[in-house]
Structure 1
Amino acid sequence: MPGRPDPFSDPAVATSYAAQTRAKVPGLDDLHRMVTLLLAEKASAGARMLVVGAGGGLELSAMAGAQPGWHFTGVDPSPVMLTQARQATAAAGDRIDLIEGRVDLAPQGPYDGATCLLTLHFLNRAERLHTLREIRRRLRPGARLVVAHHAPPAAGAEQWLARSVRFGDPAAAAQAAAAGERMAQLLPLCSPAEEEDLLREAGFADVALFYAALSFRGWVAVRGEDPGHTEESPA
C-alpha cells in the first residue's frame, strides 16, 4: 500500500512478522475468526475474496483453513512480505493468487468479500479513500469489507498507543509513553468517527464496529449501491 514504511522490505522484519503481530494485536487469532464469520454470512462456499495488505499471510492462512472452498487474491507492495505469505499459505497455495503491488493492480473481480487488516493506519486520508474506493469497485453489490487497524480515540490517542506497546512488550513499560508519542507522530491516524465517515464516503453502507482492543478498532461494511441506482419494481 502507498505509505507503508520501509521496514516491511527488511527480510528480518518479515521473518519475525507473524510472532510480533500475534504479540502486539490483542486476540489476533480470534480477530481472524470474526473476520471469516462476518464474510461468510454474505458469501457462498465457493466465494472469491480480495485481501489487501496480504503480506505475511496471517489472515489468508486463517481464512483458507476455515473455508476450504474459498479462493483468494492477495495484494501487497512488499516482495519479502509476500514471500512470507507464500510460505504461510503453502497448504492452500492452489487457491491463492498473490500480486506484488497496490490494490490498483488487483483484478476487477467482482469479489464476494474483502479484507484490509493492519494496513490502513499507514495511509494518509487521501490514500485511504482511494484504497477503499478501489476495493469497493471490485466487490459485487452487497459484498462485505472488513477492516481493522490502529484507530484510537482522538482524545488520549498517544496513551492508547502506549498501552498497545505495553501489551505487545510488557518489558518495555518504561519506554511505552515515548513509543506511543512517536507512533502518534508517524502514523496518519484517524479517529473512529473519521474512519466510519471514510468508509461511507468511499461508498460503503451499514458500517458497524465489531472489534475494539486498546488502540485497535475493526469495522464491517457493505458495498453500497452505485449513485443513482434504483431497484426495478417487479412486474
Structure 2
Amino acid sequence: MYPTRKFRKRNKFASKIILVFRFQNRLQTSLFEYSICRNDFAFKLRIFIMSLVTVPYQFIREHVLLTWHDALWGYERQLIGWLDIVNLAEDQLCAGSDNPLEIELSGLGKSETQLIGETLRKLANIEPSEKGIDSGKIWLFLQLAWLFKNRTDVIDALGEVETIYADFDYPLEIEGFVRYMPVTDDYDPSQHSREENERRLFSKWQQYLNEGNCEIGKRSTQRK
C-alpha cells in the first residue's frame, strides 16, 4: 500500500527519520551480503563503493569538464579525493596549460593532502567565475548518473536516490523520482503495481539524466 499524499508531504524532518531507518537497514543488509559473499571480494568492494556513492574520476571526465570551482566544491564535501584532484591538474597540463599552480598540484602526493587542498583553493580563487550551471548541480548529476549506471549492483537504488536527495538539500529537480514524494501529475500509484510504479520512477530518473547530459555536455563543449 502506498502512503497517502498527506504522509508523503515534503517534510525534511520526516525524510530524515526515513533515512535513519534506511541506514540501519542498509547496515544489516550489508552484513548479510558479506556473510554470504565473503569469498567474492569484487562484489563486496562494489557494494561498499556504491554505499558511499563515490564517483570514479574516469566516469567524471567522460561526462563533464570540471572547473576548479567544481572540483573544490566536491573536494570540500568529500565527493572527490586528492588523487582525482591531482589527475585533474595533470589533464590540464596535457591540454596545454602552463599554470604554475597546476604544475605544482600535479606533482603532489598522498602525504601532502593539506597542500593539495591549499593549492586547489588558490586555483579556484583565481579562476574566472562562469555563469551557468551551479557546481552543486554538476555533482548532483554525476552522483545520480553513476548510481543509475550501476543500479543493478545496488541493493536498493531508489533508496540511494533518497539519500542523495537529502544530502543535496532536497533539490526540486529530482523530486519526480524520489519514492516518498507525492506525484505532481494525474498518475495514481494506487492503481498500479509496485513494479509498475518503480519502472515509472526509473523512467523519470533516466529522463533527468538525458536532460542533464544535454545541459552539462553543452557547457563542456563551450569550455574546450
Rg larger in structure = 2
Considering fraction of residues, name the structure with more helix: 2
Structure with the larger RCO, 1 or 2 (CA within 8 Å, 6+ apart): 2
- The question of a shared fold, defined as TM-score above 0.5 by the shorter chain, is answered with no
Q: Provide the TM-score with structure 2 as the length reference.
A: 0.32
